[in-house]
Amino acid sequence: MLAVLVLSLKFLIRRRRPEGEGGGIYRQTDPHSFPSGHAARASMLTVIMFLGGFWWLGLILLVWTVLVDLSRVGLGVHYFSDILVGTLIGIVMGGLAFWVFSII
């Protein structure tokens, strides 16, 4: 569901990736940068671990998520706003996924 949401937004908004040489495969397979799917997925996993009571793994994933986010900007394949919105989507979807699977 997260991938469908992110890809739908990418193809609706169609924001071009920043100019640069880094991330060649991403520029070829996915020319759109907004929102960041990497940031969304990393944030979603982090939220699920925290809500699931695995706080120690959540802390590790929080550090990993920040590093993923910084690397995407550092590679020049995303703008900061792509990361910010991707992170917010991941937080919401992580909470939603946890809630849905906790009532099943």
Active site residue 78: yes
| Predicted confidence (pLDDT) per residue in 50-100, tens digit | 999 999 999 999 999 999 999 999 888 899 999 999 999 999 999 999 998
Active site residue 32: no
Residue 74: count of CB within 10 angstroms of its CB? 11
Residue 18 has a pLDDT of: 87
Active-site hit among 32, 38, 41, 72: 38
Exposure string for 22-60, b = 16+ CB within 10 A, e = fewer:
ebeebbeeeebbbbbbbbbbbbbbbbbbbbeeeeeebee
Active-site hit among 78, 83, 86, 93: 78
| Amino acid type, 79 | Y
Residue 39 has a pLDDT of: 96
d(CA 81, CA 85): 6
* Predicted TM-score of the model (pTM): 0.87
| Predicted confidence (pLDDT) per residue in 1-42, tens digit | 888 999 899 999 989 888 877 767 777 787 888 999 999 999
Closest CA to 2 of 43, 54, 31, 30: 43
